[in-house]
Structure 1
Amino acid sequence: MSFKKKFALILGTITALGTFGMANVTSEPAMATSTKPVTIYLTRHGETTANVMMRVQGWSNFPLTKNGVKVADDLGRGLKNTKFKAAYTGDLTRQTVTAQEVLKYSGNKHVSVNQNKDLREGGYGSFEGDSIAADNNKIAGVYGYKTGDEFMQKTGKDYWNQLQDAYHKLDTQNSQETKLVKADRAESAKEVQQRMTTELNHIAKTTSKDGGGNVLVVSSGMSINEYLSTMSKKYEGKPLKNAAVTKLVYKNGKLQVSGPIGTLSYVDKGAKASK
């Protein structure tokens, strides 16, 4: 065999082997990302001094009352034997202390609390600390209603979003005549919804990739209501009582409400166990 024929034969063999090797590499299936189900216990904080005094508290840092601590403890007892993978709250004392009490009495003292301002209550800007009763008619007037009661009755499940937007509109107009900068003024409902949705989805995805499990999330009544109004047909706009729980299940890349919205069943169970 001539040198040219030998060379052509060797070159052809190398090319064939290379093609075979590349075919093996490209045909190998990609590794699928493993995700596990997550259950979020989305919880309103315990009673605060502002709740008792009927004050607008938003981003303001009012503490839990004695009764507020007790209801958080009862919630913890009602969740006994529920193993939490993680816990998250807003950056407000009432939210963090509620979570700490729940973890303590549910047998999850080893779980640390992660704070994130995106889980805080809706911000009310210049109206922070006001008497709710004193502001009611002013807020209702934004939509042409005479009283706060009429406003609530006529708007139904849209009440909380419209309430947030009323604060936002009045504060944008500087109706309180304050010198607050834009960043400290009242949020709109859309702003609250977006930050709550982004953070809750992040928590769900992160926990899912870490093996799934249960997560305690403590936020506030208005922000939870505004969030739920965007993602559940079960939502009716009813006020959430202190320490009320709404379970969210993350599966197949989506968060959904599981069970009743704002249930006190865990609190009631814990209260009975403490007697």
Structure 2
Amino acid sequence: MKTIYLVRHGQTFINRYDKMQGWCDTPLTEQGIAGAKNAGKELANVDFDIAISSDLKRASDTCEYIIEENINRNELQHIATPFFREQFYGFFEGMNSDEAWRMIGGGHGYPRREDLFTHVDIDTVKDYMKEADPYHDAEDAQEYWKRVDKGFEMIKQMEGADKILLVSHGFTIRSIVSRFAPGQYNLAHGPQNASITILKMDDEGKINVDSYNKMTLDA
């Protein structure tokens, strides 16, 4: 049984300005660096066997801050991979979030993102996004999961890696929780920056969600 400590990266400038941030990238803010370090302190005594992150800098940097605090920091290998990148938003990258979600959901009767995520499952939201993208570059659900599933297969094949640090992104974490714990958590809003979500993976690769969007392991 593998335990995956799934952490959202620290706050970035685009997060601060409430803009769409998928594959586009901006640095961590001072608050984001502090959040990453706090997550590291919370996870300091978890003797991780491997550290994995999205290859986007905000996630990779957050992972490094967490590693610096860890009991295994001198031995811990960090793998940065595109498998656990954020959803690619295509045309909507960098756009004001409210404006983007109005374009994505408005044609389906959901001009507000809270209504969209309350009433529509996340995979359908992905399909709406590709449909609304004038260039159709945004990932739909099939494209997205083809990529992310490669990441989980990689983790499944890691012999001897029982405690895994995985640093990823808000919409990706929300998507994973929606898929493996449908209806169990309120996903109208995404996880907080630097929050911790815990997954369990059995030997066959089946995933369960133990907890979602916690700032401390004791919460």
With structure 2 as the length reference, what TM-score do the two structures score? 0.89
**1:45 equivalent in alignment to 2:45:** no
One-letter amino acid of the counterpart of residue 102, structure 1:
I
Check conservation: 1:47, 1:69, Cα contact below 8 A.
Answer: yes
Measured after TM superposition, the shift of residue 190 of structure 1 is 2.7
Question: Which is greater in Rg?
Answer: 1
SS across alignment from 1:230: helix
One-letter amino acid of the counterpart of residue 232, structure 1:
A
Residue 195 of structure 2 is aligned with which of 222, 244, 264?
Answer: 244
One-letter amino acid of the counterpart of residue 162, structure 1:
T
1:189: which partner in 2?
A: 141
Measured after TM superposition, the shift of residue 235 of structure 1 is 4.3
Measured after TM superposition, the shift of residue 147 of structure 1 is 3.5
Check conservation: 1:193, 1:226, Cα contact below 8 A.
Answer: no
Give the 5 Å matches for 1:1-275: 37-110=1-74, 111-155=76-120, 158=121, 160-171=122-133, 173-174=134-135, 185-206=137-158, 209=159, 211-233=160-182, 234-238=184-188, 239-266=190-217
Runs of at least 5 residues in structure 1 that lack an aligned partner in the other structure: 1-36, 175-181, 270-275
Runs of at least 5 residues in structure 2 that lack an aligned partner in the other structure: none
Tell me: CA distance 1:263–1:147, structure 2 relative to 1, closer, same or farther (3 Å): closer
Matched residue count: 216
Q: Which runs of 4+ in 1 moved over 6 A?
A: none
Partners of 1:154 and 1:64 lie apart in 2 by: 32
Percent of aligned pairs with the same amino acid: 28
Measured after TM superposition, the shift of residue 248 of structure 1 is 1.7
With structure 1 as the length reference, what TM-score do the two structures score? 0.72
Tell me: CA distance 1:44–1:240, structure 2 relative to 1, closer, same or farther (3 Å): same
Check conservation: 1:192, 1:227, Cα contact below 8 A.
Answer: no
One-letter amino acid of the counterpart of residue 106, structure 2:
G
SS across alignment from 1:84: coil
Tell me: CA distance 1:112–1:143, structure 2 relative to 1, closer, same or farther (3 Å): same
Measured after TM superposition, the shift of residue 258 of structure 1 is 4.5
| Larger helix fraction of residues | 1
